[in-house]
Amino acid sequence: MHKDIATPLRTKEILHKYGFSFKKSLGQNFLVDSNILKKITEFAELTEETGVIEIGPGIGALTEHLARISKKVVAFEIDGRLLPILEDTLSPYDNVKIIHQDILKANVLEVIQKEFSGTRDIMVVANLPYYVTTPILLKLLTEQLPLKGIVVMLQKEVADRISASPGTKEYGSLSIAIQYYTKAETVMIVPKTVFTPQPNVDSAVIRLLKRDKPIVEVEDEEFFFHITRTSFAQRRKTILNNLTSGLPNGKENKELIISSLEKINVDPSRRGETLSIQEFADLSNVLLKVLPIGNES
C-alpha cells in the first residue's frame, strides 16, 4: 500500500516539490485527513464494479482512495499546473484517467459512454470547489446522465440548503431543484481544520441518490423551475407578490395568478418557503395552462 497523499506532511512535500501555489480563483482547498476521505468513499458505497467521476482531483488525495476500491476513476481537472503532479502521485494506479477540462463545459455523457462502457454503476464523488458547486450539481442532474448518485463535499451552508425541508429558512429553489431529481441527505460535517489552505467555513458531505423518476409530475420542467425561482426572488414577499412582480406581464395577470393559487388551495398570502414541492408542481401545471408566458414556452 502506498503512503497516503492526504497527510499534512506528504501534501506539503508534494506542493514543495512542484513549487505549487494555490489559486484563490479556483477555490482550491486540499484535504489532509485520510480518515475523512475513507468515510467519503464509504458513503458512496463503491464496489469493484463502480465507475467514478471526480471533479477537481487536486493532487489526487481523494482520487487514490477511489481508485483503490472502484473499477475506474475519470477525474476532470481544470488547472493544468496539477497535471504533472497527478501523473506522479497517481502513478501506482492504472485505473485512473485525468481529463484536463472544465466540467461545466464538458460533454459528460460522451465521456461516460466512452470511458465506462459495460460499467454497472456510476457515481460522482468529489470535493467540489466552493465557487461552482451549484452549477456543477445542476448540470449533472439536468443532463439526464446515467448516474446512480453523487457524494460530494461542499460548503456546509449549501448542503443545508440542498437538504432543507419546507418551512425552514434554508429551503429554497435550490432545495427543490436537487430534491426533484434525488433523495438528498447530509451525511457528515467536516471541520475547516482538515484542509490546506484552511477555508473560512466548515464543509459537509452530502449524498444525492438519483430517483427512478422525479418526485413530482410536471408538464414542463423548465417552467416549473422558473416558477420556483420566481417564488423565492424576495423571500420576505408573499408568493403572490413574487409571482406578479417576477413573471412577464405578471401585474396584468394578477387575477389569473390569484385564481390559480386558489385552485390548488394555496393562500396567496403565503410565502414561497412554506410551499411543498408538490404544491409548486401543482402551481406550475395550472399556471402553464392559463398564463400567456406558459403557453409560449
Binding site feature residues for S-adenosyl-L-methionine: 29, 31, 56, 77, 102, 127
Give the annotated binding-site residues: 29, 31, 56, 77, 102, 127
Contact 154, 133 (CB under 8 A): yes
d(CA 113, CA 236): 45
Structure-block grid coordinates of residue 213: 423518476
H or E segment to which residue 53 belongs: strand 50-55
